[in-house]
Amino acid sequence: MNAAIPDLTRKVAVVTGATGGMGQIIAADLIHAGAHVVTIARNPARADALRARIGPQAANRLDVILGDLSQRKDVVTAAKTIRDHHDRIHILINNAGAHFSEHRVSADGIEMHIALDYLAAYGLTTLLDVPLRRGHARVVNVASDTLNDTRQIKLAGRPRPATLELAGIDDLAELNPASGFAPFEAYARAKLMTVTAGYALARNLAADGVTVNALHPGIVATDIIDDLVPPLLRPMRTLIRRTLLTPAEGAKSATRIATDPAMAGVTGRYFNRDKESSTPPVSHDATTQQRLLALSLTHFAG
């Protein structure tokens, strides 16, 4: 068992993005601590790589549901499959995410950052409401501190937080439009949406002992980084990656929030690695939170 993680025998954890660099480590660490892990994967070959990492001795503690988390129907189907097999969930780590350098929309007509980086986490958290409450679960949303500063090169000037203006918005498909599309800002906005909704969901779930926190794991050397590096610095990507945190270091921050006994009862917080931090004022605005929840609920009801 991983000495940094308490015994998780008979605990059920749902981990998204578990076929990626940091997600693989999160899933493997939880399984090796005794948990039964469920993940959703789009690529069967990458799921096989996760099984290989875990090893045959623990393979029976991993369930892989095939699906694309950018699609509403696959999120709904995955959540139903999980509910059908597990009446209690103790950990939900919403780690799935990607950065898209060009404007793309999902099968549902939603800009891809919002579809994958926000709606997948919102959808699983709300569609798994009952087993999360029964398990007094810890929900951890892996975000990004780009929500506090959307500048890619921070040599001078003041931070430029992500924006979220929902007045007059009737459908999430209206956000991050093709006109004037800025990939880094679109990515940051989706992460801001995750944190904003998370604050409201934390209050809604608190009565049943469910905690909801968000985390910036640090700048980790994962595949997303290659897309986030500004064009002028791309020839130096290999050197840049050497200065970043390893996926194992990023994973440690996520598993700490999900399992550390000292985090029991802590909810509605945002952490920059292990330090509690702040998010833009709009993320705490009650009107914005409720409007975002209403739009998101409509998406999954549609």
Torsion of CA 88, 69, 289, 258, to 10 degrees: 40
Domain boundaries, the chain: 12-301
Whether residue 242 is predicted with pLDDT greater than 90 in this model: the reply is no
Whether residue 233 is predicted with pLDDT greater than 60 in this model: the reply is no
pLDDT single digits (tens) 6-61: 999 999 999 999 998 899 999 999 999 999 999 999 988 889 989 998 998 898 99
What's the pLDDT at 245? 72
Q: Range with the lowest mean pLDDT among 113-122, 136-145, 215-224, 280-289?
A: 215-224
What's the pLDDT at 20? 85
Q: Are 197 and 297 in contact (CB under 8 A)?
A: no
Q: Which residues pair with 269 in a beta bridge?
A: none
pLDDT single digits (tens) 148-179: 999 877 767 899 999 999 999 999 999 999 99
What's the pLDDT at 88? 98
Among residues 133, 98, 110, the alpha carbon closest in space to that of 224 is found at: 98
What's the pLDDT at 153? 73
Q: Assign residue 295 a region: left if phi > 0, alpha if psi is -120 to 50, beta otherwise?
A: alpha
pLDDT single digits (tens) 70-99: 999 999 999 999 999 999 999 999 999 999
What's the pLDDT at 165? 97
Q: Assign residue 273 a region: left if phi > 0, alpha if psi is -120 to 50, beta otherwise?
A: left
Summary mean pLDDT of the chain: 91
What's the pLDDT at 287? 98
pLDDT single digits (tens) 186-202: 999 999 999 999 999 99
**Which residue is it, tokens 């503690």?**
61
d(CA 73, CA 150): 31
Whether residue 109 is predicted with pLDDT greater than 60 in this model: the reply is yes
Read out DSSP for 171-204?
SGGGSS-STT--HHHHHHHHHHHHHHHHHHHHHH
Q: Range with the lowest mean pLDDT among 129-143, 176-190, 245-259?
A: 245-259
Give, in degrees to the nearest 5, the angle at Cα 269 between 271 and 146: 45
- At 93, list the tokens: 């780590």
What's the pLDDT at 151? 86
Considering the segment(s) 12-301 as one domain, its CATH architecture is: 3-Layer(aba) Sandwich (3.40)
- At 118, list the tokens: 């926000």
Q: Which residues pair with 105 in a beta bridge?
A: 111
Q: Are 181 and 104 in contact (CB under 8 A)?
A: no
